Amino acid sequence: MKRNRINIRVSDDLWERLTVEAAAHGSTMTAIIETAIEQYFDPDQVERRDAQLLSRIDRFDVRQDRIETDLRLCTETLAQYVLYWLTRMDPLPEGEREAAYALGKRRYDHFVQQVAIRMAKSEGH
């Protein structure tokens, strides 16, 4: 069988791995490269890779659906709490509104600051 010659360029890391593997297994670099190319073009191998990829995509889709459901639940819970709170609060008398507004602004700023701190900590790990 006539064998054709090709010249390829590979990174230093890949060259090192190829050299080590060929020596460790008593094989030639040509045999390793031929096997890799055959597997790359093998239709069954392509189908297996595609099936694995589709399976992973399906799992991502399921997880994304769960995340969206959890987010909708959290949003609806917060909306119901705010609605309940607003319906239960009595209006403030005219003279107390400015003080209540100032206190509310300080509390809100503190709340936003605490959320930012918690988010920064959760992103750090």
For residue 122, the model assigns a pLDDT of 86
What distance in Å separates the CA atoms of residue 11 and residue 34, rounded to the nearest whole number?
18
Helices 29-41, 12-24: crossing angle, 10 deg rounding = 110
For residue 73, the model assigns a pLDDT of 96
Say if residues 86 and 79 touch (Cβ distance below 8 Å): no
What distance in Å separates the CA atoms of residue 93 and residue 120, rounded to the nearest whole number?
39
Q: State pTM to two decimals.
A: 0.50
Domain spans of the chain, in order of start: 93-125
What distance in Å separates the CA atoms of residue 105 and residue 46, rounded to the nearest whole number?
60
For residue 124, the model assigns a pLDDT of 72
For residue 123, the model assigns a pLDDT of 80
Q: Please, what are the averages of pLDDT over each run of 10 residues along the chain (125 residues)?
A: 87 95 92 90 85 96 97 96 89 89 93 94 79
